[in-house]
């Protein structure tokens, strides 16, 4: 079974620029999450999708962050404009409906200069 | 709100030493509890889990018991190896969302 794919793996941008991350989940996993992991901290949930609908985006800074999940499969997370404090690893995770375990992708390491 | 607190690291041990990483949680309801591991340069991997009180999760020689009375889920291993060097995250699941502790870095020396 293929795992969660994310791209790019690394991205360096200057503040006020825009950036987008892509996630391809495990086939059949209806629930998709984006987490932000700042260096030295545990991951924090940004947004949760069930199929292509948003379940929870209460922690997403909506003035600059946006996310979508096309046709309930792939998802993109965008930051526009980026700030220095957005430097972090952005993790995508999936789980099957009614299961507890989440499967994580390798993450995208973002550096904002 | 719900939260997870882990012992601070880094933890440095010699090979074959006994490992304990403390984890306590605060939650309404009855969460599932997890330990995830992040090896250098790799993504998060599920190490073990427990879904109800008194359950014991185990994997690769690691164990943790869900203690509702002390709201704890401490990770233990009887004899660590150099290959266990990684960052360990305790987490709880509530409403399908994971809430993580801050992580504990483990370094095992030969």
- Per residue, the 3-state secondary structure of A36-95, as one string, reads EECCCCCCEEEEEEECCEEEECCCCCCCCEEEEEHHHCCEEEEECCCCHHHCEEEEEEEE
- Rounded to 5 degrees, φ, ψ at A8 are -70, 175
What is the rounded average pLDDT for all residues in chain B? 94
Q: Which residue has the higher pLDDT, B16 or B1?
A: B16
| Residues of chain A contacting B42 with CB distance shorter than 8 Å | 106
CA distance A66 to A86: 13
Give the residue from chain A lying closest to B96, CA to CA.
A100
pLDDT (0 to 100) of residue A83:
97
Residue A105 to residue B103, Cβ atoms within 8 A: no
Q: Is the peptide bond before A81 cis (omega within 30 degrees of 0)?
A: yes
Q: Which residue of B has its CA nearest to A91?
A: B43
For A:51-110, CB contacts with B below 8 A are 55-56, 91, 93, 95, 100-107
Can you say whether the dihedral through the CA atoms of B61, B35, A30, A109 is positive or negative? negative
Phi, psi of A85 (to 5 degrees): -75, -5
pLDDT tens-digit profile of B36-85? Answer: 999 988 889 999 999 999 999 999 999 999 999 999 999 999 999 999 99
Q: Which residues contact A56 (CB under 8 A, 6 or more apart)?
A: A45, A47, A48, B95, B97
**% of chain A residues with pLDDT over 90:** 79
Kindly report the average pLDDT of chain A as a whole number: 92
Nearest chain B residue to A105 by CA distance is B43
Provide the pLDDT for residue A1. 57
Residues of A in contact with B51 (CB under 8 A): 100
**Chain B residues in contact with chain A using a Cβ-Cβ cutoff of 8 Å:** 4, 32, 34, 36, 42-46, 49, 51, 89, 91, 93, 95-103
Name B76's Cβ contacts closer than 8 Å, sequence gap at least 6: B18, B19, B20, B21, B62, B63, B64
Q: Is residue A108 over pLDDT 60?
A: yes
Asked whether the beta carbons of A108 and A90 are under 8 A apart, the reply is yes
Interchain pair A41, B32: CB under 8 A = no
Region A27-46: what's the mean pLDDT?
92
pLDDT at B26 over 80: yes
What average pLDDT score do residues A33-57 get? 93
CA nearest B105 in A: which residue? A40
Give the rounded distance of the alpha carbon of A32 from its chain centre: 9
Q: Which of A40, A41, A48 sits opposite B96 (nearest CB)?
A: A48
Tokens of residue B85, six digits:
């060097």
């Amino acid at each position: 079974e293929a795992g969660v794919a994310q791209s790019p793996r690394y991205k360096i941008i200057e503040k006020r620029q825009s950036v987008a991350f892509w996630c391809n989940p495990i086939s059949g996993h209806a629930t998709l999450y984006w987490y932000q992991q700042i260096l030295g901290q545990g991951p924090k949930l940004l947004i949760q999708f069930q199929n292509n609908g948003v379940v929870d985006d209460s922690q997403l800074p909506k003035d600059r962050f946006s996310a979508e999940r096309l046709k309930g499969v792939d998802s993109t997370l965008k930051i526009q404009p980026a700030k220095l404090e957005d430097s972090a690893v952005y993790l995508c995770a999936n789980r099957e409906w009614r299961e507890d375990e989440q499967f994580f992708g390798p993450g995208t390491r973002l550096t904002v200069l | 709100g719900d939260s997870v607190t882990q012992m601070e690291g880094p933890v440095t041990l010699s090979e074959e030493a006994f490992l304990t990483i403390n984890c306590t949680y605060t939650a309404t309801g009855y969460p599932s509890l997890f330990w995830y591991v992040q090896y250098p340069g790799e993504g998060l991997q599920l190490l073990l889990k427990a879904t109800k009180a008194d359950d014991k999760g185990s994997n690769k020689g690691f164990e943790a018991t869900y203690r509702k009375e002390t709201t704890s889920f401490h990770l233990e291993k009887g004899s660590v190896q150099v290959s266990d060097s990684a960052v360990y995250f305790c987490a709880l699941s509530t409403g399908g969302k994971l809430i993580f502790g801050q992580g504990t870095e483990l370094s095992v020396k030969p």
